[in-house]
Amino acid sequence: MPSACILGCEGLTLSTAEKAFFRKVDPWGFILFKRNVDTPEQVRALTAALRDTVGRADAPILIDQEGGRVQRMGPPNWPKYPAARKFGELSTNDPLVRRELVRLGARLMAHDLVSVGINVDCVPVLDVPAADGHEIIGDRAYDMDVASVARLGRAAAEGLIAGGVLPVIKHIPGHGRAKADSHLELPVVNTPYDELEAVDFAPFKVLSDMPLAMTAHVVYGAIDAKRPATTSKKAIRLIREVIGFSGLIMSDDLSMKALGGDFGERTAAALNAGCDVVLHCNGDMAEMKAIVRETPALSGKAKVRAQAALARLAKSPEPFDVEAGRARFSAAFA
């Protein structure tokens, strides 16, 4: 069985050492970053090589293709997509127009991704930004309004699924109030529980039927004052029971500085808390070796959730006129 982890690689092609390591470890999936992306032909060859190491044609290969600041594939080989907030700011009196354009943008992204062998996009961001929250979320969120975030997040997820790509809802149970960047330090949120449930958790409840979710490295004092959600049994139980998410939960990147301890300790803490799989992004071999020493094979409920997620991949994408779609999308943002 695959190991309960998602790993990255260092460059544009796999080294001999990486090939041997991935064959031995058999990670459930992989994630690509800008360092792994050059041309469509190169990305296609890399995704094929990654899947060859594990011998699974449907092995999930993830990317963060949000648009705006967070877009790993961009010009000149792929279009530049707007940040999520740009959809919420479109001047229209009809919210259905915004929804249609979010879905269309996600469907276009899915077309780009599938054509190079990528089948999971870490979208939509369902965080509701607080006015005094850190800019790390900022315009990555669709709106400052709960209902709008939920509606537009659903549209993005639908567009991806229609195009043959699985969405990942993030950062569950909500990163919008954090006053620090969890890449660099551990944010602590002391908002009362009732307010968290009414605002932060709400979009995740609306999309609780999605196949995949990524945790927030954030301490919520009202849930668990000692541990960030990623390594908190109380927070993972809340995600399951209050938010009602029954899909596969992956950690956010274990190399982020919000987490304490060495990589083995971080891995064990996330899995013991209830994450189904752990995510490590930077391709550092020493860090990955420390992680896999603490990573078991996918089994039990985690295995069932992983299989159920991949079962959501359409055998064939929804019929789609790409050129007409691009023209419609470009006109809306002209």
Catalytic residues: 183, 252
Give the pair of three-digit tokens for residue 24. 């031995």
Cα 26 to Cα 4, 12, 53, 227, 269, distances in angstroms? 9, 20, 8, 29, 21
Give CA–CA dist 120/226, Å, rounded: 32
Closest to 175 in 3D by CA, of 185, 157, 187, 184: 187
SS3 220: strand
SS3 136: coil
SS3 186: coil
Cα 258 to Cα 190, 219, 231, 323, distances in angstroms? 16, 10, 11, 43
Radius of gyration of the chain (CA): 19
The DSSP result for 222-271, as a single string, is TT-SSSBGGG-HHHHHHHHHTS---SEEEEEETTSTTS-S-HHHHHHHHH
- H/E stretch holding 97: helix 95-114
Give the pair of three-digit tokens for residue 116. 């190079």
Closest to 7 in 3D by CA, of 254, 302, 232: 254
DSSP state of 100: H
Give CA–CA dist 63/26, Å, rounded: 19
